[in-house]
Structure 1
Amino acid sequence: MTTSTALVTFTGVQKTYDGRILVVRDLNLEIQKGEFLSLLGPSGSGKTTTLMMLAGFESPTAGEISLDGVPITRTPPHKRNFGMVFQNYALFPHMTVADNIGYPLTVRKLGKSEREDKVKRALDMVQMGHMGDRYPGQLSGGQQQRVALARALVFDPQLVLMDEPLGALDKQLREHMQLELKALHRRLGVTFVYVTHDQSEALTMSDRVAVFSEGVIQQIDPVDRLYETPVNRFVASFVGDNSVLDGKVTQASGDQCEVTLTDGTRLTGINVNKANTGDSVQCSVRPERIGLAASGGATNHLSAKVTDVIYFGDHLRLRCQTSDQPELSVKLPLQYAGQLREGATVNLHVPTEHLRIYR
């Protein structure tokens, strides 16, 4: 028998609300001890339902959820000993910050001195040690979110579940809190399961990301693999920026294939889904992987017209048009600032190893 480090295991889990449409279908997932796992996907993809089944607020229609090898599918939420953080914070307005954080300990009937010690430690953990006497109404959104996080951590849970907890914060604060959460996770070593529809948030914080669509995990991988090697069109388009070219396979050999675009341009790339000669395919490349090249008919070059040059502060973004194709996005270093103008014709190079071809 193989030993697993999985803390949580979903086996054949399904969920339907109306008996017809499966919101989650045949979910098999292992959540490892101590990892930061994000469940990423658009609205209605099944990610929040998965989290709610893990929390115990929803029951699976079929399948089993286990914690450390013990089934918990029929265990009520309050007996699962999980910390929860929601987008709306759910703080008690009439209670001080310290009392809000201490509430789970009061419910668990801990003694006063032990409770006070744990609350102090949790306040320090989220860098709010001096704010225990304040009320939620006196705090900013970011501070309220820290209190909600401290409350979820105060009773030393095995698992902390978060449902879009930073969604209500402004961009700068959200980005700051992402880094804080990641650092906190690293310090504590607690298992975090985090639901978001924001792909940059998932990439910034997670050890692994599970990408959901239509109730199915499309891909689950460490963030670099997810970004560099998407397994299908959906993941390629949903995670990160993506430039797309349509064409037909003219030659397939091993892991690579050659694609001819509508204007006759030929490109070679990675044959991800084993497309065959004659198949209509989509060629996908990250904008930062496309380079400018001297004109000439070298391998994997295509000619394009610049329709816009956008200055992003840390890079330039070109919007380019090639014949009968969707608009291409190209990301360039700032050394090209001032050299490229709208209307210019450029020669683009797409490296074979970064061009992924999907059926």
Structure 2
Amino acid sequence: MTTSNALVTFTGVQKTYDGHTLVVRDLNLEIQKGEFLSLLGPSGSGKTTTLMMLAGFESPTSGEISLNGVPITRTPPHKRNFGMVFQNYALFPHMTVADNIAYPLTVRKLGKADVEAKVKRALDMVQMGHMGSRFPGQLSGGQQQRVALARALVFDPQLVLMDEPLGALDKQLREHMQLELKALHRRLGVTFVYVTHDQSEALTMSDRVAVFSEGVIQQIDQVDRLYETPSNRFVASFVGDNSVLDAQVVQTTGEHCEVALADGTRLTGVNVNQAQAGETVQCSVRPERITVVNGSGPTGNRLGAAIGDVIYFGDHLRLRCQVSGQPEISVKVPLQHLGHMDPGQAVHLHIPPEHLRIYR
């Protein structure tokens, strides 16, 4: 049963190309009307295959995809009326910008006056109103991407699908386009489904993010919850920076547990996957949640460390710290520590229990 606000529903969808390996396994996913949903994951995790099944370029091996409660699994791509934007833009080089954008409308046999009005609106939407007579070869990568986006939006689709559309752009332009896309989405209220392997891109733009690994959604959540409360080790390590400590559970109390590090240090944290006493676990904390404390700071959840390196990041410092018997951990500290932190220096680190997440 779909919820009233779901535009697209995947029910038990599986995909295999060779009859053995499932690229997507038992996918149950609801895409809400008007949301910006990113499918995030490493190469081979199933995110692009999921998008291609939604677009109609791939067929599920089993399961059903519905649009507004109506099955579309066997509907060909051109009848789904979705806008598509690819990484390589896929513009026709022999056509002007305006003709490229008009193409979906001419295929739909709209009248000339209608086409001109819609093309003008689409060009204005992506702030390229003055460039309709140019050819793709005369445009920068960012401008070509805007044209591809205008072409995907020109026929008022209810859903726009994007596959790594900013991947070919340089960092500064990519970050600028991320903000433009987010603003455009807010303005239009169209449903966007966006595939990326870039976690900061997904966090910057999306309302919700679905994190894929090995054909399965590991977690789907709002961006702040995804970052602050990852549901397993994979999500914690894949989304954002992470400092990890190896430990053993000593005792559990409700949602929390106490763990012991190799050197005997005791820490308390959130027991995410109900680890039991005696189990070996990973303790995970965001580098910006760790504070360097002096003797008068909080007494609990402290551990001794030695600074291995101090890296200047412009807006903060990154300390690479050695803790006895542990992998190197990263600590983000404000710039006022500049000049007071040196390699080799012994420090005490405090980790708030609510930000230390313990995974089995």
The within-5 A match list for 1:83-102 is 83-102=83-102
Tell me the CA shift for residue 298 of structure 1: 1.6
The within-5 A match list for 1:1-359 is 3-295=3-295, 298-359=299-360
Count of aligned pairs between the two proteins: 359
Q: Secondary structure at the match of 2:130?
A: coil
Tell me the CA shift for residue 84 of structure 1: 0.1
Q: Secondary structure at the match of 1:168?
A: coil
Q: Secondary structure at the match of 1:329?
A: strand
Contact 2:10/2:29, CA 8 A, preserved across alignment: yes
CA-to-aligned-CA distance 1:13-52 (integer Å, 9 cap, x gap): 0000000000000000000000000000000000000000
Q: Secondary structure at the match of 2:123?
A: helix
Q: Give the counterpart letter for 2:91 in structure 1.
A: L
Q: Secondary structure at the match of 1:281?
A: strand
CA distance in 2, matches of 1:23, 1:174: 29
CA distance in 2, matches of 1:47, 1:342: 42
Tell me the CA shift for residue 2 of structure 1: 7.7
Q: Give the counterpart letter for 1:160 in structure 2.
A: V
Contact 2:2/2:9, CA 8 A, preserved across alignment: no
Residue 26 to residue 3, structure 1, CA distance change in 2 (3 Å): closer
Q: Secondary structure at the match of 2:161?
A: strand
Contact 2:48/2:163, CA 8 A, preserved across alignment: yes
Q: Give the counterpart letter for 1:60 in structure 2.
A: P
CA distance in 2, matches of 1:295, 1:25: 52
CA distance in 2, matches of 1:236, 1:261: 20
Tell me the CA shift for residue 355 of structure 1: 0.1
CA distance in 2, matches of 1:324, 1:53: 47
CA distance in 1, matches of 2:153, 2:42: 28
115-124 or 3-12, which deviates more: 3-12
Tell me the CA shift for residue 340 of structure 1: 0.3
Tell me the CA shift for residue 304 of structure 1: 0.5
Q: Secondary structure at the match of 1:50?
A: helix
Contact 2:241/2:287, CA 8 A, preserved across alignment: yes
- Percent identical: 84
CA distance in 2, matches of 1:3, 1:53: 21
CA distance in 2, matches of 1:140, 1:185: 23
CA-to-aligned-CA distance 1:104-148 (integer Å, 9 cap, x gap): 000000000100000000000000000000000000000000000
Contact 2:309/2:343, CA 8 A, preserved across alignment: yes
Residue 338 to residue 135, structure 1, CA distance change in 2 (3 Å): same
CA distance in 1, matches of 2:136, 2:114: 23
Q: Secondary structure at the match of 1:44?
A: coil
Q: Give the counterpart letter for 2:50 in structure 1.
A: T
Q: Secondary structure at the match of 1:152?
A: helix
CA distance in 2, matches of 1:348, 1:275: 24
Tell me the CA shift for residue 253 of structure 1: 1.1
Tell me the CA shift for residue 295 of structure 1: 3.2
CA distance in 2, matches of 1:193, 1:226: 17
Tell me the CA shift for residue 294 of structure 1: 1.3
CA distance in 2, matches of 1:314, 1:180: 24
115-124 or 288-297, which deviates more: 288-297
Tell me the CA shift for residue 76 of structure 1: 0.1
CA distance in 2, matches of 1:148, 1:2: 32
Contact 2:2/2:69, CA 8 A, preserved across alignment: no
Q: Give the counterpart letter for 1:106 in structure 2.
A: T
Tell me the CA shift for residue 335 of structure 1: 1.0
CA distance in 1, matches of 2:255, 2:184: 41
Instruction: Name the TM-score, length of structure 2 as normaliser.
Output: 0.99
CA distance in 2, matches of 1:295, 1:95: 70
CA distance in 2, matches of 1:212, 1:345: 39
CA-to-aligned-CA distance 1:202-230 (integer Å, 9 cap, x gap): 00000000000000000000000000000
CA distance in 1, matches of 2:76, 2:300: 61
CA-to-aligned-CA distance 1:280-335 (integer Å, 9 cap, x gap): 00000000000011137921000001011011010110000001101100001111
CA distance in 1, matches of 2:234, 2:6: 27
Unaligned runs of 5+ in 1: none
CA-to-aligned-CA distance 1:172-227 (integer Å, 9 cap, x gap): 00000000000000000000000000000000000000000000000000000000
Q: Secondary structure at the match of 2:315?
A: coil
Q: Secondary structure at the match of 2:28?
A: strand
CA distance in 2, matches of 1:295, 1:56: 62
CA-to-aligned-CA distance 1:265-292 (integer Å, 9 cap, x gap): 0000000000000000000000000001
Q: Give the counterpart letter for 1:298 in structure 2.
A: T
Q: Secondary structure at the match of 1:176?
A: helix
